[in-house]
Amino acid sequence: MQDFGAAFGQAFALIAGFDPALMEIISLSMRVTFSAVLIACLIGLPLGAVLAVGRFPGRGALVVLVSALMGLPPVVVGLAVYLMLSAAGPLGVLQLLYTPTAMIIAQAILVTPIIASLTRQVVEDMHGEYDELLRSMGTSRVSTVATLLWDARYSLLTAALAGLGRALAEVGAVMIVGGNINHVTRVMTTAIALETSKGALALALGLGIILVGLSILVNAGLMGLRKSAERLAYA
Amino acid sequence: MPETITRNSHLSVIESGIAPPAITLQDVVFERQGKALVDGLNLTLTANGTTVLMGPNGAGKSLTLRLMAGLIAPGQGKIRWNGVETVPSQRVALVFQKPVLLRRSVRANLTHALKTYGVPRSAQPQRLEELLKMGNLTELADRPARVLSGGEQQRVAMVRALAARPKLLLLDEPTASLDPQATAAIESLIRTAAAGGAKVLLVTHDPGQGQRLADEIVFLNHGRVTEVTGASQFFDAPRSREARTYLSGHLLF
């Protein structure tokens, strides 16, 4: 139990002192995670909506596939991205391995199925309600997807949150493609793994507390937004 | 049942020969799970005036409306809109019993409709103000549409339909869950639409509403047209036994 006490002390000291190394790790974590979730949203939201609205051959199989990919093991994604980006891989010329960009790519791949799948469920429900209206208005397919995504925007925050949680907590993929290089690719989760393996449990726990705190903050902010939207019947 | 069509020839709109049939249903059958819910329906709607579709529950009134809106396709038979088999969706508008409003403000709901109906951007603000005024919604323009009362929501749905400047306005029991005052507001909008040259087709269970709005009555039973009669004659002396029974308050089987 003394580890917990020491951990809180250490975490507090690090935060209060605006420890530059810590700030660097936090800011890289945030940058990688938010970039990955943003990219995943740009792909996953339209993909999910098209899966909800579209009627095309292979749709059922695609729905199952996207849903199954929600459970992708991060280390496997890390390995796949590693193989793509390594010097001998097809994208080796880009020299992205062990850069934050590689970490963003890996996390975006992990998070996109989550956002696409949750989007499909949300949009499918809303489409059930809007379908006759939109068709009676002669709405085009593209415009239908856009209308549904816009009207579901607050409900879709939940999908983005799920993706954010996954990306923020993930360690396997960023460890493999980022390499946990100090000042370059070290993020919260890889730092925690490293400090733990070095036996610096208090520091690791301190970083963990900060990570959980950040996660709660982001979630609370977005949830608050959603609640106020619901109160106004926008969601 | 072609005689059904000729039977309504007493209607002045047809006698004048000016108005061509706007919409024709020919031997239309619509089945669900092997049961013919619309069963060989023949109907020609004239281009003007208000036609009220009456009949007991399960007669196929709502399905007929959805067939006319092109939302569902007939299993057999043909539907023609001005002679062609493609629904001119931008000039056909539909209002449901339970208004389906977007999760946006009243103003944004109407703007969305104007955009969808292809109204040029430059003309949108003026049309928007007209619609708000027509629906007595100016005060409510910036409120989220889905927190309004049932009557207010249906007014939004009505003027949204009118944003299409529809040639054909299809109304599926739009006042069934409204109080008399809200009903009067909707009926006034229906009259405005009809006066503006829209063909109105209204499904209702309220004979009083039929009397107030109808130029002609189409009575449906078991997925077929039982009679098409001018409104005044229908309520005084309906021709079919089914309609007489329905109006006298007896149950139809």
- Chain A residues in contact with B71 by the CB 8 A cut-off are 132, 135-136
Residue among B234, B226, B186 nearest B207 (CA): B234
ipTM value for the complex = 0.84
pLDDT band of residue B161 (cuts 50, 70, 90) is very high
The nearest alpha carbon in chain B to A139 belongs to B116
What residues in B contact A135, CB-CB < 8 Å?
Answer: 70-71, 89
Q: Give the start-to-end residue ranges of the domains of chain B.
A: 105-166
Is A231's pLDDT higher than 90? no
Give the range among A143-157, A202-216, B112-126, B127-141 with minimum mean pLDDT. Answer: A202-216
* Residue type for position B30: F
Give the closest of A132, A139, A143 to B71, CB-based. Answer: A132
For testing contact with chain B, the best of A137, A148, A151 (most B CBs within 10 A): A137
The pLDDT, as a whole number, for residue A185 is: 96
Residues of A with Cβ-Cβ distance to B93 under 8 angstroms: 136-137
Domain ranges of chain A: 21-187
Q: Are A233 and B146 spatial neighbours (Cβ–Cβ below 8 Å)? A: yes
Q: Rounded CA gap, A119 and A142, in Å?
A: 16
Best CA proximity match to A206, nearest among A78, A64, A71, A25: A25
- Give A49-75 pLDDT, tens digit per residue: 999 999 999 999 999 999 999 999 999
Q: What is the mean pLDDT of residues A178-200?
A: 94
Interface test with A, best of B63, B67, B102, B156 (most A CBs within 10 A): B102
- Three-state SS sequence of chain A: CHHHHHHHHHHHHHHHCCCHHHHHHHHHHHHHHHHHHHHHHHHHHHHHHHHHHCCCCCHHHHHHHHHHHCCCCHHHHHHHHHHHHCCCCCCHHHCCCCCHHHHHHHHHHHHHHHHHHHHHHHHHHHHHHHHHHHHHCCCCHHHHHHHHHHHCHHHHHHHHHHHHHHHHHCCHHHHHHHCCCCCCCCCHHHHHHHHHHHCCHHHHHHHHHHHHHHHHHHHHHHHHHHHHHHHCCCC
Per-residue pLDDT of B164-201, as tens digits, reads: 898 899 999 999 999 999 999 999 999 999 998 899 99
Looking at domain A21-187, its CATH class is mainly alpha
- List beta partners, residue B43: B25
- Would you call B102 and A130 a contact, using CB atoms and an 8 Å cutoff? yes
Report which of B152, B160, B74, B169 is spatially closest to residue B110, judged by C-alpha positions.
Answer: B160
B197 vs B154: which has the higher pLDDT: B154
Model pLDDT, residue B89: 67
Nearest residue to A151 via CA among A128, A174, A167: A128
Per-residue model confidence as pLDDT tens digits over B34-54: 899 999 999 998 778 999 999
> Measured between CA atoms, how close is B117 to chain A, in angstroms?
7
Residues A13-54 have pLDDT tens digits of 887 888 888 899 999 999 999 999 999 999 999 999 999 999
